[in-house]
């Protein structure tokens, strides 16, 4: 049994360790999957966003043969019209500007959406670097034209994204966007346009080389309101749903400002710590995504740890400086992936631990129940054997004695009398035994009903003792009786009390024969539930072994002493006494000392 419990506990501990390791492993892969999914969504969002903007330049890139300024202007005007009638997001374009160089100097012309002609404006200071390239005929180190490696650059003009590409005159040297993509060294992939322009050197004097001339620049300015209200909103719904799980924002910096918030309550402060993000847009000249682009070519998504990350962490993650940029940031409404996975892990661990404890508990209970059932079955077998033995002894005596009488072999009247007494005694033993078994069966099934009446306990004690007077006298017992005067009546069932006392006398005869001394006392005392009458039956027998003492009131329990082993009995006597007393509203207690004797006290409630 103990071994079984230890085995169950050991198995539970092993299962617990395996469960713990498995949960950690599963959580780790969930965490990894979650982070990867988050990164993938950010990357897709960013690609879709850039793809939308990237649709603009092909519409406006003129043929290099458009040598004439008026023709170029007309071409741009037509392109804008074509854009508005055929593009997916016609309102995305706010204005088309061209900055060209002629004999009279540089001119900046802008065609606002809705206008029907270009208007000459001052060259914006923000685009001063582009003006200088034209004026000073700046070229790459080898004297080549300053064509952007991938055809165009992103810049910000008054906070609005602008796409810029060069206008060249000679078709033979025209490097179409994408043509140079695979040739451009990786170091050029994330160049900042201003830095790149500043690295240019003045070319030889005009006409000194055969290089085609850079005619000017085209600036495509994006409508921020449209970008915010339609493009970003649509992308957020496409990639993050309608906002049940995530808060999504697009933040411009520096200075920090909110370009877009998926939730009207979102503020820059509320997004100061985010779960993930990616640089959506920044001034650079590498935006094309054609051909088999290497994976790290785009902006790198950032997924924060359990505590979230400040916006600066996402900016730093791209490895750039403090140039103006737009960040797409995401906050999981239910907490970061880390904390969600951690919560789920703790819940799984808690539930699996509870399950394991329950499993271990029920296994132990099952083992206990099985052991108990086995013990009961064993006891019942012993009971049947004991009862059969108990019944057989008196029956054998009765049978042989009555046979002798019937055969007429016993003639002497005194001997006949003696034989009659034997038959009577054995018959009484038989009746007692049968009664005991019936009582036990009655109590067990709950059929036994007690008739509680105010009863004189002394009368019952004396009557019971009188019935045992002969056996005690035959063995030479010394009997002492002490009944307190004015003992109150007790509320009890007389016959039930009588049979309990007889059980105690019976046991004294069986187990305390060495002392041959019996005392029966009755007195009033204050019990746990009020005043009670206590009847104590004490003997000077061998006493009860301490290991037997807690069990003697259990059904079928028999002491391990030698006397008990050689004495008839089924282990029901004291069990009956205990259950009867309980049913009568009282109780039985025992005191025993090895070698000194045993005393049982019946506690009966006063009437
Ligand atoms: P049984 O007498 O059939 O064994 P009981 O329920 O009457 O069953 O008693 C249970 C056990 O308690 C006995 O087997 C015996 O070991 C012990 N016992 C009972 N009464 C006494 C007593 N007066 N002195 C010593 N041992 C006793």
Q: Rounded to 5 degrees, what angle do the CA atoms 536, 529, 533 make? A: 30
Pocket test for ligand 1, best of 386, 559, 565, 569 (most atoms within 8 A of CB): 559
Confidence of residue 553 (pLDDT cuts 50, 70, 90): very high
The residue-averaged pLDDT of 340-369 equals 90
Higher-confidence residue: 2 or 80? 80
Name the closest-CA residue to atom 16, ligand 1. 559
* SS3 per residue for 514-564: CCCEEEEEEEEEEECCEEEEEEEEEECCCCCCCCCHHHCCCCCCCCCCHHH
Confidence of residue 317 (pLDDT cuts 50, 70, 90): low
User: Within its chain, how far is the Cα of 210 from the centroid?
Assistant: 75
Q: Could you give the CA distance from residue 63 to residue 79 in angstroms, rounded to a whole number? A: 12
User: Are 523 and 487 in contact, with CB atoms under 8 Å apart?
Assistant: yes
Query: Ligand 1 in contact with 164 (CB < 6 A)?
Result: no
Confidence of residue 271 (pLDDT cuts 50, 70, 90): confident
Confidence of residue 501 (pLDDT cuts 50, 70, 90): very high
The residue-averaged pLDDT of 361-372 equals 91
Chain segment 274-297, per-residue pLDDT in tens: 888 888 887 766 544 444 434 445
pLDDT on residue 53: 87
Q: How far is the CA of 507 from the centre of ligand 1 (A)?
A: 6
Please say if the pLDDT value at position 604 is more than 90.
Answer: yes
pLDDT on residue 262: 85
Q: How far is the CA of 323 from the centre of ligand 1 (A)?
A: 98
Q: How far is the CA of 383 from the centre of ligand 1 (A)?
A: 15
Chain segment 153-194, per-residue pLDDT in tens: 888 888 888 988 888 765 444 444 444 433 344 444 456 667
pLDDT on residue 184: 41
Chain segment 113-162, per-residue pLDDT in tens: 888 888 999 998 888 888 888 888 777 776 666 776 667 788 888 888 89
Residue 385 structure tokens: 């054997």
The residue-averaged pLDDT of 332-338 equals 75
Chain segment 570-579, per-residue pLDDT in tens: 788 899 999 9
Confidence of residue 549 (pLDDT cuts 50, 70, 90): very high
Question: Which burial class, exposed, middle or buried, applies to 23 when counting CB atoms under 10 A from its CB (0-12, 13-18, 19+)?
Answer: middle
Q: Could you give the CA distance from residue 528 to residue 510 in angstroms, rounded to a whole number? A: 32
Query: Ligand 1 in contact with 507 (CB < 6 A)?
Result: yes
Mean pLDDT over each residue of the chain, to the nearest integer: 83
Q: How far is the CA of 579 from the centre of ligand 1 (A)?
A: 15
Query: Ligand 1 in contact with 539 (CB < 6 A)?
Result: yes
Confidence of residue 208 (pLDDT cuts 50, 70, 90): very low
Pocket test for ligand 1, best of 507, 516, 571 (most atoms within 8 A of CB): 507
% of the chain exceeding 70 in pLDDT: 86
Q: How far is the CA of 34 from the centre of ligand 1 (A)?
A: 72
Please say if the pLDDT value at position 102 is more than 80.
Answer: no
Pocket test for ligand 1, best of 512, 558, 589 (most atoms within 8 A of CB): 558
pLDDT on residue 173: 45
Which has the closest alpha carbon to 49: 304, 282, 351, 344? 282
pLDDT on residue 185: 40
% of the chain exceeding 90 in pLDDT: 32
Confidence of residue 212 (pLDDT cuts 50, 70, 90): low
The residue-averaged pLDDT of 531-551 equals 95
Name the closest-CA residue to atom 26, ligand 1. 544
Atom of ligand 1 nearest to the CA of 553: 6
Please say if the pLDDT value at position 492 is more than 90.
Answer: yes
Please say if the pLDDT value at position 322 is more than 80.
Answer: no
Q: How far is the CA of 595 from the centre of ligand 1 (A)?
A: 15
> What pTM value is reported for the model?
0.57
Residue 99 structure tokens: 């900055």
Question: Which burial class, exposed, middle or buried, applies to 299 when counting CB atoms under 10 A from its CB (0-12, 13-18, 19+)?
Answer: buried
Taken in order 141, 145, 150, 156, the sign of the CA dihedral is positive
DSSP H or E segment with residue 421? helix 413-445
């Amino acid at each position: 049994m103990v071994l079984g419990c230890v085995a169950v506990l050991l198995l539970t501990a092993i299962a617990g360790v395996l469960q713990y390791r498995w949960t950690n492993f599963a959580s780790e892969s969930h965490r990894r999957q979650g982070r990867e999914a988050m990164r993938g969504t950010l990357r897709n969002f960013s690609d879709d966003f850039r793809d939308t903007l990237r649709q603009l330049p092909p519409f406006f890139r003129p043929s290099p043969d458009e040598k004439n300024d008026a023709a170029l202007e007309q071409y741009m005007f037509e392109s804008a019209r074509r854009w508005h009638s055929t593009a997916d997001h016609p309102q995305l374009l706010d204005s088309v500007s061209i900055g060209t160089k002629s004999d009279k100097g540089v001119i900046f012309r802008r065609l606002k959406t809705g206008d029907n002609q270009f208007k000459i404006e001052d060259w914006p200071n923000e685009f001063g670097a582009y003006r200088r390239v034209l004026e000073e005929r700046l070229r790459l180190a080898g004297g080549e034209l300053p064509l952007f490696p991938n055809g165009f650059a992103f810049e910000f003009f008054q906070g609005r994204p602008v796409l810029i590409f060069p206008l060249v005159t000679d078709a033979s040297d025209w490097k179409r966007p994408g043509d140079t993509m695979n040739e451009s060294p990786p170091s050029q992939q994330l160049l900042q346009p201003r830095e790149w322009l500043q690295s240019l050197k003045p070319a030889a004097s005009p006409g000194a080389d055969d290089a085609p001339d850079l005619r000017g620049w085209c600036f495509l300015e994006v409508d921020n309101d449209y970008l915010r209200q339609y493009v970003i909103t649509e992308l957020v719904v496409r990639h993050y749903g309608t906002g049940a799980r995530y808060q999504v924002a697009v933040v411009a910096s520096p200075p920090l400002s909110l370009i877009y918030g998926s939730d009207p309550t979102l503020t820059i402060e509320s997004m100061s710590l985010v779960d993930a993000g990616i640089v959506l847009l920044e001034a650079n000249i590498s935006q094309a995504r054609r051909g088999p682009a290497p994976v790290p070519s785009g902006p790198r998504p950032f997924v924060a740890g359990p505590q979230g990350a400040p916006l600066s962490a996402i900016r730093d993650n791209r490895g750039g400086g403090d140039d103006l940029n737009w960040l797409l940031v995401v906050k999981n409404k239910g907490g970061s992936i880390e904390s969600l996975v951690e919560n789920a892990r703790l819940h799984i661990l808690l539930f699996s631990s509870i399950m394991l404890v329950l499993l271990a508990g029920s296994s132990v209970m099952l083992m206990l129940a099985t052991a108990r059932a086995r013990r009961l079955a064993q006891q019942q077998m012993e009971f049947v054997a004991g009862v059969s033995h108990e019944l057989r002894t008196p029956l054998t005596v009765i049978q042989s004695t009555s046979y002798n009488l019937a055969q007429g072999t016993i003639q002497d009247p005194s001997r006949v009398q003696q034989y009659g007494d034997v038959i009577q005694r054995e018959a009484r033993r038989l009746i007692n035994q049968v009664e005991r078994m019936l009582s036990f069966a009655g109590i067990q099934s709950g059929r036994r009903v007690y008739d509680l009446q105010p009863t004189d306990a002394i009368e019952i004690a004396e009557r019971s003792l009188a019935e045992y007077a002969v056996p005690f006298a035959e063995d030479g017992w010394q009997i002492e009786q002490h009944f307190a005067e004015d003992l109150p009546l007790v509320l009890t069932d007389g016959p039930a009390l009588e049979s309990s006392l007889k059980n105690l006398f019976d046991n004294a005869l069986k187990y305390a024969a060495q002392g041959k001394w019996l005392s029966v006392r009755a007195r009033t005392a204050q019990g746990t539930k009020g005043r009670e009458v206590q009847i104590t039956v004490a003997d000077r027998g061998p006493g009860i072994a301490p290991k037997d003492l807690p069990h003697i009131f259990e059904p079928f329990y028999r002491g391990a002493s030698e006397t008990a082993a050689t004495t008839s009995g089924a282990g029901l006597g004291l069990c009956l006494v205990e259950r009867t007393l309980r049913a009568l509203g009282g109780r039985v207690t025992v005191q025993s000392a090895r070698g000194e004797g045993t005393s049982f006290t019946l506690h009966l409630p006063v009437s």
